[in-house]
């Protein structure tokens, strides 16, 4: 059996392409992100490391705890993730269920991504990603998906 060395922050999931759709002219949402699992430490590291350089560098992430299995330990929200480029601060809203990931960029800009649940089937996930990328609208059927268009986690 042959194994390959991993660099810090790299995981088997990190090798998969990032499922990210950014809206050309942001309205209320800037895009959608469809992680492959509910493991924030792995998925957020992939988002940071594979985020398009042309859009900018992510400095901090704010997340909705209910979206992730590892968003909190002993009632305390995760405070840092280890990306391939190094540690990145993260924050959370304990009871926020808007399914949003707020990215604070190095240039001071904030981007809001709706998080498509990782267990969404392929056809529905692709439909949701297209809906946000082309219209900055959800077009989803579940209440949280529709509501996220009008809400934002607190600052």
Res 3 pLDDT > 80 = no
**Is 8 a residue whose pLDDT tops 70?**
no
DSSP 123: H
Contact 95, 61 (CB under 8 A): no
| Phi then psi dihedrals of residue 94, to 5 deg | -50, -45
Distance CA 16, CA 65 (A): 23
Do 42 and 14 form a contact (C-beta atoms < 8 A)? yes
Round the average pLDDT of the chain to a whole number and report it: 79
Which band of pLDDT confidence, cut at 50, 70 and 90, is reported for residue 94?
A: confident
Strand locations in 65-145 (E): 72-73, 76-77, 80-83, 86-93, 100-105, 110-115
Place of tokens 């759709």: 21
pTM of the model: 0.76
Mean pLDDT of 81-100: 90
Contact 37, 13 (CB under 8 A): yes
C-alpha–C-alpha distance, residues 93 and 153, integer Å: 7
Highest mean pLDDT among 34-48, 62-76, 124-138: 34-48
Domain extents in the chain: 13-147
């Amino acid at each position: 059996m042959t194994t390959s060395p991993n660099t810090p922050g790299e995981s088997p999931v990190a090798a998969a392409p990032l499922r990210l759709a950014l809206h050309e002219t942001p309205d209320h949402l800037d895009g959608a992100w469809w992680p492959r699992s509910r493991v924030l430490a792995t998925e957020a590291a992939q988002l940071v490391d594979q985020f398009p350089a042309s859009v900018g560098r992510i400095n901090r992430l704010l997340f909705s705890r209910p979206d992730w299995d590892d968003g909190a330990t002993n009632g305390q929200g995760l405070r840092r993730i280890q990306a391939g480029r190094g540690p990145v601060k993260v924050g959370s809203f304990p009871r926020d269920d808007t399914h949003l990931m707020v990215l604070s960029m190095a240039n001071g800009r904030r981007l809001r991504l709706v998080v498509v649940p990782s267990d969404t089937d392929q056809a529905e996930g692709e439909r949701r990603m297209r809906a946000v990328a082309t219209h900055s609208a959800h077009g989803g059927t579940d209440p949280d998906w529709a509501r996220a268009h009008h809400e934002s986690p607190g600052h």
